[in-house]
Structure 1
Amino acid sequence: MTAIKHALQRDIFTPNDERLLSIVNVCKAGKKKKNCFLCATVTTERPVQVRVVKVKKSDKGDFYKRQMAWELRDLAEVDAKDASKENPEFDLHFEKVYRWVASSTAEKNSFISCIWKLNQRYLRKKVEFVNVSSQLLEESVPSGESQSVAGGDEDALDDYQELNAREEQDIEGMMEVCEYAISNAEAFAEKLSKELQVLDGANIHSIMASEKQVNILMQLLDEALSEVDTIEGKMSSYEEMLQSVKEQMDQISQSNRLIQISNANNGKLLDEIQFLVNYMDLSKGHIRALQEGDLSSSKGIEACINASEALLQCMNVALRPGHEKLMSVKQQQHLFTELRDTFSRRLTNHLNNVFVHQPLLIPCAVYVQGHDQSSVLSQHMAELTLPKHSPLHRDLLHYAKLMEWLKNTQREKYEGLSRTYVDYMTRLYEREIKDFFEVAKIKMAGTAKEGKGNKFGKNLSLHGSSGKLTGSTSSLNKLAVQSSSSRRSQSSSLLDMGNMSASDLDVADRTKFDKIFEQVLSELEPLCLAEQDFISKFFKLQQHPTLGEVEESDEVVPSRQPPPGEKDMVRLMMNKVFQSIETELNSLITLGDKIDTFHSLYMLVKMSHHVWTAENVDPASYLSTTLGNVLVTVKRNFDKCISGQIRQMEEVKISKKSKVGILPFVAGFEEFAELAETIFRNAERRGDLDKAYVKLIRAVFMNVEKVANESQKTPRDVVMMENFHHIFSTLSHLKISCLETERREAKHKYTDHLQSYVINSLGQPLEKLNHFFEGVEARVAQGVREDEVSYQLAFNKQELRKVIKEYPGKEVKKGLDNLYKKVDKHLCEEESLLQVVWHSMQDEFIRQYKHFEGLIGRCYPGSGITMEFTIGDMLEYFSSIAQSH
């Protein structure tokens, strides 16, 4: 096997730069035995490629050839069939399974062992070995030839080093000299051993010949050792000298270290002194400003602001550990505390005096007993405005930074000042707002009797000492209701609105009320916003950023969000200062609703707009919250107004002796819708009106049908036709999108009842002829052919002629004239449906006429029988009757 291995290495693998590591003689399992060799090889070039190569003899049998090769990395599994018994069979699992039978179990084991070692050394992906003894995977099997092959392979795998070019040439030359180097390896090895012994002897003789040179070399080494000893002695003396120098240098270094520590300590002490001087020293100017600075002049306020900020900075300085134990620091802190207390007392007293003695706190209108009260009242009624407090705000804002200082240092005094300001401003605003709303109520009540000589002064008591209108709200409301009752009932209704065109005050009064209400809201809005803005700035209470501030800034900084406590404080202060606004607004709204319930439409639109505007400016503002609360009341009044109109519709009664015509609430709905569309144009609360429309129109529909069912004088179809025609016209004109379904329904009802009225009123103007042809149609329905009907005794041509002669043209025209008079009595003039109904009756009559002619043509063909009048005559009858009336 060794000779075969060398031959394969020389002829097949060496030309391919490969080394043969293991070989096994095999044949395929289960087939005719054709021997071949499986070889495990590695390449000599890097990176190393490991392969399993199949080699077989050529057909002539004189040389070997390479038949197939597999990469070892493609090998998935090696199956030895049996790990405990000797079995020459084994399987190699590549892309397909190859089943082999080795010539001996030892060769198989040696080959599998080599594969395992190659796998462990060169492959990352490990091959799975199945049914293989664990001993076999640790060392090669020591048996016969296989031992040398396996052992050689193991050495080659572990200690193999490639020959260089010179070594390869020497080996090749030596093998060429000895021709039997391959055929007789033992003789070749013996020759090499003898030559090696000759070379060893020559080496020994060469060493012995160089003894003289060795002695000379040893002598030189002895001399070198003596010189080394001399140098070591000198080095020792030098080391002793350097040791003394080292001790001196250590002393100098220790001295320098102490000097450095002293300098460092002095530097730190200087830093501490400079820190205390820089951060805890208050200038004499600041001290003088805090103790006796002028708080009534701009320069004095500015000096006090600078001094208070410097004092706060000194008091808030972060002292280093140990500073609080220094006597000078304690004295400075005591001085700062006294200055803080002194200045906070001065500032609090001064601001208290400013709040109390502000000129704006004097009542803005004084009514003196005995003066011309009517002229003073007229002046107030002419100008419905609220005083502006911007001068007070402007003056107080000079102290804003001082208030912030007081907030950070003396919280109790800061809160006391806040309460003082709120108390004084509450009394001021309460008086101004009450006077303002009294004037607004007088103006509203005046809309009912304006221009008719009513004097409101008789019902109001005016006291000059307080400058207040002391007439109670209840008396004012009573006065307004009494004045409005002179022209209409206490509350507006759709029933009343049907006759509003005759009134000289509805549109003008409501427009004037709308202007008054808008003026009230327009005056309150800037007043509340200005006061809230002042409170937040003066008392340094953060608010949510307004819409304009958000647009101007690039980003919203989280720190700008106010702390919850400050938000609550702004809200509480505003609620206290303007505690009377919500009450007065509700009272004003109640008065307006009593004067005219339709005022709730104006108030809903105006209030919604102002709520929307306030929320856009600041959703959390007092104004937004208060107006939102009042809006709930307005919406409730609006809903009550709509419910009242529906209730009045349900209670309507129609006279039994007069014709109905257009119902009052139908005409009233038209007026209401026109008014509402004008008021709610581009309004934010359009959805509320749409919901009210749906409720009202459904109530109108239901009550029209109710009245039509109860009507005795006017036919039901006429009531339904006229009123639903009016509703359809109204909805078509106004184009209210949410009522499009009701518009189509009204048209459908109008058309149906028009047709029903026409059919019922027209009836059978040719009654006998109609009965005759009903009998003809009955015979045809029973199965009699149409052209055979004339042979029936009761329906022959002679009978037909008799019936036709009973309806000459004059009789027909007379009957139509009576019918016209009857329809005219049923229909009302304001809806102008007479001609529409008359034209529909004409169409219906012509339809019946054509039906009769058709039956004559089909059932009496060729008889020459015709009606006594033609369609042209009929058209002339209808036209002449309509013109004559």
Structure 2
Amino acid sequence: MTSIQQQQQQIINRELFQLNSERLKYLIIVNKPNKKKSKSNYFLAIVVNNINTHFLYLIKKTDQSYKKDKIWQFDEIQQIDSKHESNEPEFEIRFKNKQEFRWIANSQKEKSSFLQSIKQIVNQVPAYFHIKFINISNGQPASALVFNQLEEISTNEKLENGDWNQENDSYQALTNREEADLERLFQLEVENPINNAEALTEKLSRDLANMDSLNIQDIMASEQRVMDLMTILQNTIDETFRLENKIIYYESLLKNVRDIVQKVEKKEAIVQTYNDNNKRLLDEFGQLVTKLDFAKEDEYLLKEYDFNSIASYGRCIEAAMRLQEAIQFEISPTLNSLQGVTEQKRYLNGIASKFLEKLMDQFRSIMTNLSNEYLERSNVMKGNEQVLTEHSKVHNQLFGYGEFIKWIRVFDPKSYASLIVFYTNTFSIVYEKEFSYFFDYLRDRYVYNSKGIGQSSEISKRKSLAINDLKTDFRRGSYASSSNNETTIDNVSIRSSEVSLSEWEEFDSYIEFLLKSIDPVCLVEQHFCNKFFDLDNQNISIPSTPTMTNKSSPSETDVSNHSSSVSEQSMQSKKQDKLRSILAELFKSFENEFISFISHYDKIDGLYSMYFLVRLTSHVLNAQDAGSFLSKAYGNILIQVKRNFDRYMQSIQTEIEEAKDPKRTKIGVLSFVKRFENFAKQTENIIKYGQRRTDIDRWYGILLEKIFHSISRIAKEHQRIYKTPSQIIEIENYHYLQIMLSSLKIACLNNEKKVAKDYYNNALKEYVNINFRRPLEKLNIFFEGVQQKVKQGIKEEEIGYQLAFSKQELRKVIKECNLKDIKKGLEEMYRRVEKHVSDPESTLIQVIWRSMQEEFITQYKYIQEMIKKCYPESNICLMFTIDHVLNIFSEIAQTH
């Protein structure tokens, strides 16, 4: 074994196994078949862990490091073949999964040693007896690569860790006494040196024999002392037997006394139990008689009680409570079978049933009379704002009998539920008629008509003034539309424009009156139902009834006894559901009437839907109890209002998308552009203090996108039929839109305002480029030819040497461009612009004229620059200056 092999052994053990609490037992260097030995990078290692499980590792060496390539447990090995027929130190290991591996060791000796090591482990561990060996002798394994240094290291580690197994080692260390005796022996021998080992052995044998003899003598001498000790022990045993017999005698004497005492104790316990039972039975019967007894005066009072008798109300309530306590008294199941108890309970239930029947009849009678009274009142008050009022008379009269309701709920929950159903069915008819009359009254009071029919002269006058002011505002100061354009606005536009800010204030007062009239009625009724039917009681439950299933789910009306484990929040939610189901049945016509009221105005003008949307949203968000019936009802109404609003906005969008080309030469600002302005003004007035800004802003963007698209489409269609430039239509409409959006100051439309400005500038530039007939036509043609020569490669300063573009030719062309002809051409252009623009008095003509002036100046400067570049130092210049041109433009503008 070389030092290099030892070093590899230690490195592999330290790097791969020690950290995992494993120990390397055997290691051998191997080659794979068909590889040279000198290039071997593989090792086969036998390793054992802490639980005595053996593993076979294939280790690969890579760049001065080692890694585990394959691993097998000894349980997986099926057969090991030594391959004696091979000339190489080859061997084969076959595993249970049908895998076979062949390796070649460095020598036959190392191979034999490694395989014998495996066989030795197999013979020691019964779990590995299934492994089959072929061509392997039973000799002991040689050292091979089984390094003694590593075994010593492992042994030391075991001693340090306390893991040494004494059963695997026959050595036993000397005790301290044995070591001292051995040292004294050798010290004596040092004084008498012994040169012969046999003589020393004989001497030690003699000494041992002498010691044995002395020991025997000592034993024989102590025999008498042993006999004395035995005599003492026998005497002790005899004394113990005598004491035991005395104890048995004493126990026999006490046995009769103990039996007598036990009998006395049992008799005394029986007597005490008898007395206790009699006392308990007496108390039980006394309490039973007291609790189940019901006075004849109370029975008579309950039978003869009249709701109209206020004086006896308190005494009747007390009697009813006593009757309830007697019925609810918990009796032991063993006493229930007593005939007296059964008869008394039947008697009490009979009294309670008759009283319940009487209470139910009187409650139904009172509720019916009160509902008839309110129905008659509603018929009389029809067409009056006071038709919808709080039912204070009903509430005050019924509140006095609240204790009876609690008694009914406890005694018979079904009767309690049926009473609630009777109340809701009775007064839902009253509320249905009151709501119907109330909303009819509001529709009659606020009659909308564009001509002012059905309204007071003051309101009509205010509306007409608002309309005139609105129309005046539409003209925008800097740009006024023609009178013909006003007639193109359809009826929807007229209706929207007529709804002025003053009218919205008038309409808002009606809606405010509507909400202030409804809310107190519903809230007072909610408070009454909650208190009168004792819905705050946590144990209350309302059974499911056919008349209440339309508005409430079964979970809201099932009979349920809530356990204490239910959270307070869940209990509160269930109570709100119960109360909401009662109110939903009472006010079942409320939502339909309100939605019908809203739909009435939506059919007149969809703008009302927007108002209702804003107004109701603010009202719902300001509600204090979001879970109340009123909040839920307003929420459902708000959903319908939102649908109406979206439908209205969709109709405006469709109207813009399907807008047709007006059948006339000059169309000016399109009608849907003006309608959008009216719509935006009205919307901003409505939503100024509202909560639906997001919805409106979204529709603003959609409508303006459709407006931009329709303007472009109509402009192109109109040009094909009437030959009016499409650019002039776009200029007029985008100019109007740009100014309109600036005046509205709507934050979300800033981007649309920039888009309108860009469209306007592009259309203006395109119109000027197409319709500006160059007054300097000959000069422009001349220098266009010059520019072509320059593109062909002729230098600009050599253009003058070309015959067609000589200085003489240039002077000739300049002479032909005089101010008189220029002025004539510009006047013709101005008349053409006036012809195209729809309103002759519009300032838009001046805007276009100014753009043409800038275009002319641009051409003038271009010609001057080309003369300087192509004809330097020629002293050639135009016969007029820019000031002359500006004077002509100003003169033409002032003339027209």
TM-score by length of 1: 0.69
Q: Assess, with a 3 A threshold, how the Cα gap between structure 1 residues 269 and 96 changes in structure 2: closer, same or farther.
A: farther
Amino acid in the other structure paired with 2:600: L
SS in 2 for 1:322: helix
Which residue number in structure 2 is paired with residue 676 of structure 1? Answer: 683
Query: Which of 681, 695, 705 pairs up with 1:698?
Result: 705
Q: Assess, with a 3 A threshold, how the Cα gap between structure 1 residues 557 and 281 changes in structure 2: closer, same or farther.
A: farther
Name the CA distance, whole Å, in 1 between partners of 2:583 and 2:327: 33
- 1:601 offset after TM fit, Å? 2.0
Question: How many pairs are equivalent?
Answer: 716
Q: Assess, with a 3 A threshold, how the Cα gap between structure 1 residues 454 and 543 changes in structure 2: closer, same or farther.
A: farther
- 1:264 offset after TM fit, Å? 4.6
Which residue number in structure 1 is paired with residue 94 of structure 2? Answer: none
SS in 1 for 2:446: helix
Name the CA distance, whole Å, in 2 between partners of 1:416 and 1:811: 103
Q: Assess, with a 3 A threshold, how the Cα gap between structure 1 residues 344 and 222 changes in structure 2: closer, same or farther.
A: closer
Pair 1:525-2:519 in alignment: yes
Report Cα offsets for 1:388-437 as digits up to 9, x if no partner: 12453354344445324323432443344233322331232123222211
Greater mean alpha carbon deviation, residues 773-782 or residues 271-280: 271-280
SS in 1 for 2:332: coil
Q: Assess, with a 3 A threshold, how the Cα gap between structure 1 residues 448 and 415 changes in structure 2: closer, same or farther.
A: farther
Q: Assess, with a 3 A threshold, how the Cα gap between structure 1 residues 309 and 883 changes in structure 2: closer, same or farther.
A: farther
Which residue number in structure 2 is paired with residue 732 of structure 1? Answer: 742
SS in 1 for 2:727: helix
Amino acid in the other structure paired with 1:672: F
- 1:871 offset after TM fit, Å? 1.6
Q: Assess, with a 3 A threshold, how the Cα gap between structure 1 residues 725 and 830 changes in structure 2: closer, same or farther.
A: farther
Over aligned residues, Cα RMSD in angstroms? 4.8
Greater mean alpha carbon deviation, residues 328-337 or residues 750-759: 328-337
Name the CA distance, whole Å, in 2 between partners of 1:770 and 1:226: 160
Query: Which of 791, 797, 811 pairs up with 1:801?
Result: 811
Report Cα offsets for 1:97-135 as digits up to 9, x if no partner: 4699xxxxxxxxxxx9xx89x97x9977689xxxxxxxx
Query: Which of 172, 176, 199 pairs up with 2:187?
Result: 176
Which residue number in structure 2 is paired with residue 406 of structure 1? Answer: 408
Pair 1:720-2:730 in alignment: yes
Report Cα offsets for 1:791-818 as digits up to 9, x if no partner: 3333222222222222223443343344
Amino acid in the other structure paired with 2:608: H
Name the CA distance, whole Å, in 2 between partners of 1:99 and 1:452: 121
Amino acid in the other structure paired with 2:615: K
Which residue number in structure 2 is paired with residue 863 of structure 1? Answer: 874
Q: Assess, with a 3 A threshold, how the Cα gap between structure 1 residues 268 and 784 changes in structure 2: closer, same or farther.
A: same
Name the CA distance, whole Å, in 2 between partners of 1:559 and 1:94: 81
SS in 2 for 1:678: helix
Amino acid in the other structure paired with 1:442: D
Name the CA distance, whole Å, in 2 between partners of 1:780 and 1:791: 13
Which residue number in structure 1 is paired with residue 265 of structure 2? Answer: 253
SS in 2 for 1:387: coil
Name the CA distance, whole Å, in 1 between partners of 2:362 and 2:319: 17
Which residue number in structure 2 is paired with residue 585 of structure 1? Answer: 594
Q: Assess, with a 3 A threshold, how the Cα gap between structure 1 residues 390 and 869 changes in structure 2: closer, same or farther.
A: farther
Q: Assess, with a 3 A threshold, how the Cα gap between structure 1 residues 99 and 539 changes in structure 2: closer, same or farther.
A: closer
Name the CA distance, whole Å, in 1 between partners of 2:643 and 2:241: 122
- 1:592 offset after TM fit, Å? 1.6
Which residue number in structure 1 is paired with residue 254 of structure 2? Answer: 242
Q: Assess, with a 3 A threshold, how the Cα gap between structure 1 residues 307 and 879 changes in structure 2: closer, same or farther.
A: farther
Which residue number in structure 2 is paired with residue 325 of structure 1? Answer: 337
Name the CA distance, whole Å, in 1 between partners of 2:248 and 2:583: 98
Q: Assess, with a 3 A threshold, how the Cα gap between structure 1 residues 848 and 277 changes in structure 2: closer, same or farther.
A: farther
Query: Which of 761, 767, 780 pairs up with 1:770?
Result: 780
Name the CA distance, whole Å, in 2 between partners of 1:806 and 1:30: 117
Give runs of aligned pairs for residues 47-126 of structure 1, distance below 5 A: 81=117, 83=120, 85-87=138-140, 89-90=142-143, 97=150
- 1:507 offset after TM fit, Å? 3.4
- 1:325 offset after TM fit, Å? 1.0
Pair 1:276-2:255 in alignment: no
- 1:593 offset after TM fit, Å? 2.9
Report Cα offsets for 1:457-510 as digits up to 9, x if no partner: xxxxxxxxxxxxxxxxxxxxxxxxxxx9xx99xxx9965687799x87633334
Query: Which of 866, 874, 879 pairs up with 2:885?
Result: 874
Which residue number in structure 2 is paired with residue 759 of structure 1? Answer: 769
Identity of aligned residues (%): 31
Query: Which of 594, 602, 605 pairs up with 1:596?
Result: 605
Instruction: Decide whether the 8 Å contact of 1:73 with 1:123 is kept in 2.
Output: no
Name the CA distance, whole Å, in 1 between partners of 2:242 and 2:748: 125
Amino acid in the other structure paired with 1:702: H
Report Cα offsets for 1:724-782 as digits up to 9, x if no partner: 12112223343445545533332221111111122233221122222222222233333
Instruction: Decide whether the 8 Å contact of 1:75 with 1:93 is kept in 2.
Output: no
Report Cα offsets for 1:13-33 as digits up to 9, x if no partner: xxxxxxxxxxxxxxx7999xx
Report Cα offsets for 1:690-735 as digits up to 9, x if no partner: 3433443233223323442315385321111110121122233434
Which residue number in structure 2 is paired with residue 661 of structure 1? Answer: 668
Name the CA distance, whole Å, in 2 between partners of 1:310 and 1:509: 65
Which residue number in structure 2 is paired with residue 849 of structure 1? Answer: 860
Q: Assess, with a 3 A threshold, how the Cα gap between structure 1 residues 742 and 304 changes in structure 2: closer, same or farther.
A: farther
Instruction: Decide whether the 8 Å contact of 2:390 with 2:520 is kept in 1.
Output: no
Give runs of aligned pairs for residues 242-391 of structure 1, distance below 5 A: 242-266=254-278, 268-270=280-282, 272-273=284-285, 276=288, 280=292, 290-292=302-304, 295=307, 307-358=319-370, 361-362=373-374, 383=385, 386-391=388-393
- 1:450 offset after TM fit, Å? 6.0
- 1:652 offset after TM fit, Å? 5.0
Name the CA distance, whole Å, in 1 between partners of 2:869 and 2:235: 166
Name the CA distance, whole Å, in 1 between partners of 2:858 and 2:829: 17
Amino acid in the other structure paired with 1:444: Y
Give runs of aligned pairs for residues 771-786 of structure 1, distance below 5 A: 771-786=781-796
Amino acid in the other structure paired with 2:764: L
- 1:306 offset after TM fit, Å? 5.4
Q: Assess, with a 3 A threshold, how the Cα gap between structure 1 residues 814 and 452 changes in structure 2: closer, same or farther.
A: farther
Instruction: Decide whether the 8 Å contact of 2:367 with 2:426 is kept in 1.
Output: yes
Name the CA distance, whole Å, in 1 between partners of 2:389 and 2:52: 102
Amino acid in the other structure paired with 1:186: T
Instruction: Decide whether the 8 Å contact of 2:711 with 2:733 is kept in 1.
Output: yes
Instruction: Decide whether the 8 Å contact of 1:765 with 1:815 is kept in 2.
Output: yes
- 1:346 offset after TM fit, Å? 2.7
